[in-house]
Amino acid sequence: MQDSEAKFKALFVLYATYEITYIVFGVSRINTFFNTSNLTFGVNLVVLIGLMILILTNRYTLEEFILISLGIAIGLYAFYALKLNVLFMCVMFMAAAKNIDINLFIRKDFKLRTFLVGSIIIANRFGLIPSVTGLREGTITIVRDSLGFGQYNITGALIMMCILEYLYLNFGKTPNYGYGLIAVVIVLMLVLTNSRGSMLAAILYSGASWLYQYKTEVFKRVVSQLQGYAKYVFGALTVISISVVAIFNYSTPFWQFVNRLTSDRVNILNQYLIKFGIPFLPQQVSDYRSAGIIVMDNIYVTLAIQYGIIVLVLFIIYYYLLCQQAVLKNNFALVIMAVTLMIFGMIESTFFIVGVNITVMMIFSNLNPIKQERLKE
């Protein structure tokens, strides 16, 4: 495993196995045909064993070793306390991806992710996989369609990541038809799934790519002035999110307006905060009003309430390091992608799922910017 190419291939095989299992058997409606829990558990166990072998072959600095060890320990505790392996899987992939070429990895992931998501949607349109449908009432009542997945926002998040990866790989050189196709996809997703947080992120990153491509000097001047602050964004959004939720007061017109603007998110999060508080370690929280699901659509508040202060601080440190290293490598496209996903995290809680947000596993990777020519595979 000392050979970097062999290590890369091994890691991607493990990642591909995990992602196929997550998208096809975990979040698609294929799981309505048979119980997929035993399958996903077994596959994830094999993936975790493979990741552990890779981790043992890596060399880490003392700081990296401490952060990874603490992350793994808390991840294991979270699995014990919450019966969820999301955090543990996230930290294991993060540790295994030490010095991995992020650009080649994203190129391969884009192909795999697009194929998987596209296949589920096509199968759904042909009636082979069922959808979840529902109404979003407001000024305009919208019929939402999950397009073969178990939840509308999961569909939006997976498509969003396909868009972000495509733009990252072509940052500053995206053809006009590429922007046109992305615009069509965004409009269709807003109409069909109405996953607004995901499509907002896609719009923001598309806009940044377009500015870099057509307003290069202006964009570079702005980015050069602001990029140094990117490492503080996760921490800043954490403070903003928790503060807004903590001081929310439904009895005032202003907060009622804010709550309507956020589709009742602030009110729901405030109820969770009042009931469960912010612990040091992960804690079990109940589902929302016996609905059978936990509704906390903000990654910063979710981490605070469900996973605790230690995990929240670890994520602040992780994304500080990611943005700091990306800036040092002059990888503007990655810095902007990370900030875009952090903004996405204000509206959704799928941020730290490796199968949705690939940047969570890239903190210790090789963050060199992508070259203009096509990557060799």
- Give pLDDT tens digits for 318-361: 999 999 999 999 898 999 999 999 999 998 888 888 989 999 99
Average pLDDT in the 79-101 region?
A: 92
pLDDT score for 290: 53
Q: Is 88 in contact with 360 (CB distance < 8 Å)?
A: no
pLDDT band (50, 70, 90) for residue 373? very low
Sort strands 142-145 and 133-136 into parallel, antiparallel or unpaired: antiparallel
Q: Are the C-beta atoms of 44 and 21 separated by less than 8 Å?
A: yes
Q: pTM of the entire structure?
A: 0.91
Q: What is the mean pLDDT of residues 140-158?
A: 89
Q: What is the pLDDT of residue 117?
A: 96
* Averaged pLDDT, 241-250: 90
Q: Among residues 74, 1, 6, 22, which one has the least CA distance to residue 358? A: 22
User: Residue 138's pLDDT band (boundaries 50, 70, 90)?
Assistant: low
Q: Per-residue pLDDT tens for 178-201? A: 999 999 999 999 889 988 889 999
Q: How far apart are CA 9 and CA 138, in angstroms?
A: 48
Residue 125 clears pLDDT 90, i.e. is over it: yes
DSSP helix, strand, coil percent of the chain (3-state; round to 5): 70, 5, 25
Lowest mean per-residue pLDDT among 28-42, 106-120, 262-276, 350-364: 262-276
Mean pLDDT, residues 216-222 taken together: 77
Quickly state the pLDDT bin for 243 (edges 50, 70, 90).
very high
